[in-house]
Amino acid sequence: QELALDVIVAPHVLDLINEIRHRAIAQYFNPYLSVDLKVMAVAFNTSVAAMEAELTELIVANKLQARIDSHHEVLHAFQPDHRAATFQKAVDMGRQYAADTKALVLRMSLVKHNIVVVNPTSANDRHSRHNHHHPPHQDD
């Protein structure tokens, strides 16, 4: 109530209280793989429906890595499958390597058989640079 009377803080009191509550919820859940929503609702002095709505808001905002089992009223920690992600990354890198290697082999074959497409302007620039004669350097 004292914060609500402060002219500077008053407009932000509700946001501050919500942020503190959201962090408390995240800290409460952090050490567990799953939590009964009924127990959690009692701990936060609210109903199961309100707790579920608040948790949904936190999950959507990416402030809580969890999934809600509404049927069993349980909050489960969401653990991404790092092994599958690493495997997929390795497969993607392998495909990119194969594509790059194929492109290099094709380019080497084209160069070997003297099938090279040259940009006329860059060819002229190279030609003029190589054929440009400088006057002999004279010492003073």
Kindly report the average pLDDT of the chain as a whole number.
85
Considering the domain architecture, whether residues 50 and 7 belong to the same structural domain is answered as yes
**28 occurs within a structural domain:** yes
Helix (H, G, I), strand (E, B) or coil at 72: coil
Domain hosting 8: range is 2-77
pLDDT tens, residue by residue, 18-48: 999 999 999 999 999 999 999 999 999 999 9
**Angstrom distance (rounded) from CA 49 to CA 64:** 18
Rounded to whole angstroms, what are the CA distances from 20 to 3, 26, 74, 135?
14, 10, 23, 78
pTM attached to this predicted model: 0.53
Beta-carbon contacts of 34 under 8 Å, excluding residues fewer than 6 positions away, are 74, 75, 76, 77
Q: Does the structure show a pLDDT above 60 at 137?
A: no
Domain count, the chain: 2
Considering the domain architecture, whether residues 6 and 73 belong to the same structural domain is answered as yes
**112 occurs within a structural domain:** yes
